[in-house]
Amino acid sequence: MCTYLTEQIEIEGSGRGREGYFPLTRAMVYVDHPQHAPFEHTVNIDFLNPEQGPGARIPVELTEEAALALIEAIRNTLATAPPGLASANAKGHGASAAA
């Protein structure tokens, strides 16, 4: 089925596209038909920079299990690192800290 359901969030970071790294400003998450993964439906995550055009997009298509395992892995990794180390507001890092 085409769920059409789409979550969009603002993000900060970088990703590597066809022409090298670029800043990421938005992520879009949706459950729908994949373009490539051999399943009828997947959890699709697009990392985007809409200001740089439609091609500034890093898509991934994951099974439900893979997506949930990824969430878990992100949480576990952050839990073992010092709190706030990768925060946009961390001392000595990022534009927000410098402001």
Partner 1 sequence: MTVYDALLAETVTITGADGDQIEAYAARPLNAGPLGGVVVIHHMPGYDIQTKEIVRRFAAEGYNAICPNLYSREAPGAAPEDAAATARANGGVPDERLLGDVEGAARWLRALPNANGKVGTIGYCSGGRQAFLTAAKLDIQAAVDCYGAFVTGTPPEGFPLQVSPIGHLSKDLRCPLLGLFGNEDQYPSPEAVDELEGLLKEAGKDYEFHRYDNAGHAFFAVNRPSYRPEAANDGWARILAFYGRTLAS
| Residues that bind partner 1 in the complex, under the rule CB under 8 A | 1-6, 8, 26, 28, 30, 32-33, 35, 38-40, 46, 48, 50, 53-55, 57, 59
Q: Which is nearer to partner 1, 21 or 80 (CB)?
A: 21
Q: Least distance in Å: CB of 35 to partner 1?
A: 5
Q: Which is nearer to partner 1, 3 or 76 (CB)?
A: 3
Q: Which is nearer to partner 1, 3 or 77 (CB)?
A: 3
By three-state DSSP, how is residue 78 classified? helix
| DSSP for residue 43 | E
Can you list the positions of beta strands (E) in the chain? 6-17, 20-32, 42-48, 57-62
Q: Residue 10 is which amino acid? A: E
| DSSP for residue 82 | P
Q: Least distance in Å: CB of 5 to partner 1?
A: 6
Q: Least distance in Å: CB of 99 to partner 1?
A: 28
Binning the chain into helix, strand and coil, the percentages to the nearest 5 are 25, 40, 35
